[in-house]
């Protein structure tokens, strides 16, 4: 078995990620944007905000779990959580550092936390985000929010969540995924 931290293996895994974007990027996101549009817009929003490279990468990859899920659309339609954040974390493990992976794993809980701690945030959620919030466990309790906020990656997860909500503009971000390859190569372990 090959070591995913070796450069050749990391390059092959990056090829696979970009293959997923090519094969599943046009899938419906449930919003007015496709998966690839949302991913690129998210990375562009993070970049425009001057975010660290790790957060830009997390923004690009945060919903890859939807694309690798057997049938995320059916799960949503049937009222089931597809656990895309956990799928993404497992899929990306061993390739990127925790500063990329943990905000991805935590971005759903960041929404749940923000709904609890910021009523204005909850009021601004899109209808799809409101629906997925229900499927993902609803608002956190005060104790859950406090525990979430104590995590060292909570601030980046919250930043990623806000980026996620801002990156739903129809027609934007369609063709730019390849330009983020060098960034992912720099961050991938072993490159």
Residue 71 has a pLDDT of 65
| pLDDT higher than threshold 70 for residue 155 | yes
The rounded percent of the chain whose pLDDT value lies above 90 is 61
- Report d(CA 142, CA 137) in Å as an integer: 14
How do residues 57-95 score in pLDDT, each as one tens digit?
Answer: 999 999 998 888 776 555 565 566 677 889 999 999 999
| pLDDT top residue among 9 and 154 | 154
Report H helices in the chain: 7-24, 35-48, 53-61, 64-68, 72-77, 84-92, 98-117, 119-124, 127-135, 142-150, 154-166, 181-187
């Amino acid at each position: 078995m090959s070591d995913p931290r070796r450069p050749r293996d990391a390059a092959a895994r990056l090829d696979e990620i970009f293959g997923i974007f090519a094969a599943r990027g046009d899938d419906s996101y449930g919003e007015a944007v496709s998966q690839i549009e949302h991913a690129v817009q998210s990375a562009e929003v993070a970049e425009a905000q001057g975010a660290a490279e790790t957060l830009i990468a997390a923004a690009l990859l945060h919903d890859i779990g939807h694309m690798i899920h057997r049938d995320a659309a059916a799960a949503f339609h049937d009222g089931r959580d597809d656990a895309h954040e956990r799928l993404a974390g497992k899929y990306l493990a061993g390739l990127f550092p925790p500063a990329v992976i943990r905000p991805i794993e935590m971005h759903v809980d960041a929404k749940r936390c923000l709904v609890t701690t910021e009523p204005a945030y909850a009021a601004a959620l899109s209808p799809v985000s409101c629906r997925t919030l229900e499927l993902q466990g609803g608002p956190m309790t005060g104790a859950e929010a406090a525990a979430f906020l104590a995590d060292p990656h909570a601030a980046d997860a919250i930043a990623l969540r806000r980026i996620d909500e801002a990156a739903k503009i129809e027609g934007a971000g369609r063709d730019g995924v390849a330009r983020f390859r060098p960034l992912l190569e720099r961050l991938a372990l072993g490159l």
